[in-house]
Structure 1
Amino acid sequence: MQCCLIIDDAELVRGVASQFLERAGYMVIEAEDAQQALQTCTARMPDLILLDWQLPGMSAHEFLEGLRGLCPAGGPQILYMMTEFDIKDLTRAHAAGITDFLLKPFDRQTLTAKLDQFAQARLAST
């Protein structure tokens, strides 16, 4: 079973995303900040990360740098969750290693479509 780590300081977002992902067959782990998420990744690297763009304490970009230190070659697919489209931030996030982005609020259909894209890309690369 694939594992997904949801990193968001909003409990509601984590809860809704968890429900969607569990229905899609993922085992879900939640973290409310980037520091907690890095500790989780050190213990068990997830297959997929849903990463909020604004986190308390450590920024999403600092998290991505820390994650790169844990898995310099490859690593999990990262879906960057944004509340507003900011091309500069998105470009910086892509350079730091995100796979794709998702605008919040999102619904099950939108998230499922992204997961399907990830699955197809994974199959195409094997």
Structure 2
Amino acid sequence: MTKCLIVDDSATVRRIIRGMLEGFGFSCDEAADGQIALDYCRKGMPDFIMLDWNMPVMNGIEFLRHFNQEPKSKNPAVIFCTTESDSSFIQEALSEGASEYVMKPFDKEVIGLKLVQLGILDESAFEEAGA
């Protein structure tokens, strides 16, 4: 089963994203900040990461910079999910290695389409989930 790590300091946002992703058939784990996420990835790499920008302890960009320096058995896609809409934030995220970028608030269809574009979600599974 494809595994996702959801990284966001809001338990409510993590719960909403988890519901969307589990609806597509993914297994999900959660982290409340970048440091917890980094520790998680050192123990076992997820298939993809849904990453918030603004978090305490270690924000999303700091996580990505540290994550890129870690030895990895696989290179998971990283999707930034944030309220930061300035093009400089988007450019920074992509230049640091993010695979995609989605603006909050988003819905299941937006997430599903991004996952299809990245090859993480099969188009037939997307359609089956009714997004």
The runs of at least 4 aligned residues of structure 1 exceeding 4 Å deviation read none
Asked whether the 8 Å contact 2:8–2:55 carries over to 1, the reply is yes
Root-mean-square deviation (CA, aligned residues, Å) is 2.0
Q: 1:65 to 1:72 in 2, by over 3 A?
A: farther
Offset at residue 12 of structure 1 (A): 0.8
Taking the aligned partners of 2:82 and 2:116, their CA distance within structure 1 comes to 20
Taking the aligned partners of 2:48 and 2:99, their CA distance within structure 1 comes to 10
Q: Would you say 1:15 and 2:21 are equivalent positions?
A: no
Offset at residue 63 of structure 1 (A): 0.3
Offset at residue 84 of structure 1 (A): 3.4
AA partner of residue 26 (structure 1)? F
Moved more, 63-72 or 80-89: 63-72
Q: Percent identity?
A: 35
Q: 1:71 to 1:91 in 2, by over 3 A?
A: farther
The C-alpha deviation readout for 1:88-125, integer Å capped at 9, x for no partner, is 11111111100010110111111111111111799xxx
The SS at the match of 1:56 is coil
Q: How does 1:61-80 map to 2 (within 5 A)?
A: 61-71=61-71, 75-80=75-80
The C-alpha deviation readout for 1:42-88, integer Å capped at 9, x for no partner, is 01111110000111111211100111112469611011012131111
Q: 1:11 to 1:121 in 2, by over 3 A?
A: closer
The SS at the match of 2:63 is helix
Q: How does 1:1-126 map to 2 (within 5 A)?
A: 1-71=1-71, 75-119=75-119
The size of the alignment, in residue pairs, is 122
Normalising by structure 1, we get a TM-score of 0.89
Taking the aligned partners of 1:44 and 1:73, their CA distance within structure 2 comes to 9
